[in-house]
């Protein structure tokens, strides 16, 4: 074992973090090799810097004019240079500042500085690498994003354990609690995704408080719990009684037996889907600054050993946008447009014809709403809509149909639902 691994594990020993780490997580470290030596040289090598495998001219990156001519407003170093493994420091700092503003329940809790990932999926994959072993249980609702299965079961050989997401049109908190208990393990991982994909549902303020109380009960009874907050659609909240904070805020200082991991990204929040820029942040009661730094070293090792570092260009573009004086105004405008679409869909689905065998699953946020088909085949309906009406939807588990109203202009939404109703009856 590398000496640095022993050092990191010694720092984390006797903590909930160490208990929750996978075997890979316990072995992971950020090497003091080329990257760290190059970083050191960057601050001290004033005469010559012959460390980084990058072509330069007069201490600036070399580039092809045929590429550079399409990019304006950035210096060559902001486009072509390697990014630090953990991401550009200024971007990490400003993202944390925004996080604290949006989630006041974090308060004065000590949390880690966000680390940049290559999109939100990469963030979830890193968390799985660090904390999920073969045959470990990861609790998710029966309505979940399909990529969890590929990451947890395909890559890490863990076991996804489901519970019914809804109980009488509310989040099935008791079902979640019982499922965590039923794993038979004192070490359990849970993924919370709000607004939920595929249903487009977020908890009310009351439901959020109940979820937090439930986790506290489990922790008091000795359960060591990793709670991954998949906040992909954070901020897209459309109803007054919906909780507008990530559960990370209250989880990060709830109990010593809980480690909260916030995974979010610019993808949906800043309307930059193809940028592939996400963030992973840690929070837990009683975790010291030194322990956070050790966990971040392991996270950087997971990045270094997979993608090496994330896109410099997209990080700097995002940083420019977040620093703009019009950023919040522009974001509010985009959010209002999405809310208008949500309200239009909500209005339309309130009057489903009685002869259309569809049940609406609760939705109040995000990009989606989902129908449950009563006595019909969702995959058959999806194909029929595509082939007969050139209309794309997503079928799930044979009985659900997900509609992404985020990608349909508001004036087209009524026709979309008319076609869905028509197709359901025709099949």
Question: How do residues 363-373 score in pLDDT, each as one tens digit?
Answer: 999 999 999 99
pLDDT computed for residue 50 by the predictor: 75
As given in the structure block, the two tokens for residue 85 are 């493994």
pLDDT computed for residue 322 by the predictor: 95
pLDDT computed for residue 185 by the predictor: 76
* pLDDT tens string 253-272: 999 999 999 999 998 999 99
- 247 and 190 in contact (C-beta within 8 Å)? no
- Quote the CA–CA distance of 254 and 220 in Å, as a whole number: 10
- Quote the CA–CA distance of 174 and 414 in Å, as a whole number: 37
- Quote the CA–CA distance of 366 and 417 in Å, as a whole number: 18
366 beta partners:
none
Secondary element (H or E) of residue 224? strand 224-230
Give the residues of the chain that fall short of pLDDT 70. 33-46, 48-49
In terms of Cα–Cα distance, which of 139, 143, 213, 215 is closest to 179? Answer: 139
The hierarchical CATH code for the domain 3-30+85-322 is: 3.40.640.10
pLDDT computed for residue 42 by the predictor: 65
Pair type for strands 115-117 and 278-283: antiparallel
Q: How many CB atoms are closer than 10 A to CB 24?
A: 18
- Kindly calculate the radius of gyration of the chain based on its CA atoms and give it in whole angstroms: 23
In terms of Cα–Cα distance, which of 298, 249, 307 is closest to 278? Answer: 307
pLDDT computed for residue 162 by the predictor: 97
Q: How many CB atoms are closer than 10 A to CB 39?
A: 13
Which region holds residue 241: left if phi is over 0, alpha if psi is between -120 and 50, else beta? alpha
Q: How many CB atoms are closer than 10 A to CB 154?
A: 11
* pLDDT tens string 36-49: 666 665 666 667 66
Topology (CATH level 3) of domain 332-426:
3.90.1150
- 172 and 343 in contact (C-beta within 8 Å)? no
What beta strand segments (E) does 73-136 contain? 115-117
- 61 and 76 in contact (C-beta within 8 Å)? yes
- Quote the CA–CA distance of 58 and 60 in Å, as a whole number: 6
- Quote the CA–CA distance of 256 and 305 in Å, as a whole number: 30
Burial class (CB in 10 A: 0-12, 13-18, 19+), 134: exposed
* pLDDT tens string 125-141: 999 999 999 999 999 99
Strands in 368-373's sheet, in edge-to-edge order, are 358-360, 368-373, 400-404, 394-396
- Quote the CA–CA distance of 61 and 261 in Å, as a whole number: 36
pLDDT computed for residue 186 by the predictor: 78
CA neighbours within 13 Å on the CB side: how many for 372? 11
- Quote the CA–CA distance of 323 and 94 in Å, as a whole number: 8
Per domain, the residue ranges of the chain are 3-30+85-322, 332-426
- 192 and 184 in contact (C-beta within 8 Å)? no
- Quote the CA–CA distance of 63 and 169 in Å, as a whole number: 56
Do the domains at 3-30+85-322 and 332-426 have one common CATH topology? no
Pair type for strands 187-193 and 170-171: unpaired
As given in the structure block, the two tokens for residue 404 are 């992404």
């Amino acid at each position: 074992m590398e000496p640095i691994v022993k050092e990191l594990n010694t720092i984390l020993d006797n903590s909930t973090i160490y208990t929750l780490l996978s075997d890979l997580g316990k072995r992971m470290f950020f090497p003091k090799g080329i990257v760290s030596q190059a970083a050191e040289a960057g601050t001290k090598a004033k005469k010559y810097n012959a460390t980084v495998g990058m072509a330069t001219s007069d201490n600036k990156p070399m580039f092809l004019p045929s590429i550079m001519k399409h990019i304006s407003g950035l210096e060559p170093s902001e486009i072509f240079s390697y990014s630090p493994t953990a991401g550009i420091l200024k971007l990490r700092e400003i993202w944390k500042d925004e996080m604290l503003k949006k989630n006041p329940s974090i308060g004065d809790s000590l949390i880690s500085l966000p680390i940049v990932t290559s999109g939100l999926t990469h963030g979830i994959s890193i968390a799985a690498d660090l904390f999920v072993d073969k045959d470990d249980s990861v609790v998710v609702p029966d309505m979940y994003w399909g990529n969890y299965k590929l990451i947890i079961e395909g890559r890490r050989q863990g076991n996804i354990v489901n519970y019914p997401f809804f109980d009488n049109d509310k989040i099935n908190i008791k079902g979640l609690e019982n499922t965590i208990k039923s794993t038979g393990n004192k070490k359990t991982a849970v993924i919370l995704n709000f607004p939920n994909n595929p249903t487009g549902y977020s908890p009310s303020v009351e439901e959020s408080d109940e979820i937090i109380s439930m986790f506290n009960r489990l922790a008091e009874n000795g359960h060591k719990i990793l709670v991954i907050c998949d906040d992909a659609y954070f901020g897209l909240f459309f109803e007054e009684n919906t909780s507008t904070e990530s559960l990370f805020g209250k989880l990060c200082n709830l109990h010593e037996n809980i480690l909260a991991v916030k995974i979010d990204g610019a993808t949906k929040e800043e309307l930059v889907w193809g940028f592939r820029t996400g963030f992973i942040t840690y929070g837990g009661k009683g975790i010291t600054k030194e322990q956070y730094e050790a966990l971040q070293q392991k996270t950087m090792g997971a990045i270094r050993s997979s993608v090496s570092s994330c896109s410099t260009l997209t990080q700097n573009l995002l940083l420019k946008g977040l620093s703009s004086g019009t950023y919040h105004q522009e974001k509010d405008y985009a959010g209002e447009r999405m809310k208008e679409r949500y309200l239009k869909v909500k209005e339309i689905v309130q009057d489903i014809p009685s002869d259309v065998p569809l049940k609406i699953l609760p939705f109040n946020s995000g990009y989606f709403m989902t129908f449950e088909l009563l006595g019909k085949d969702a995959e058959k309906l999806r194909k029929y809509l595509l082939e007969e009406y050139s209309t794309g939807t997503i079928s799930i588990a044979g009985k659900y149909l997900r509609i992404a109203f985020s990608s349909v202009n508001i004036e087209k939404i009524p026709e979309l639902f008319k076609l869905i109703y028509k197709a359901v009856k025709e099949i």
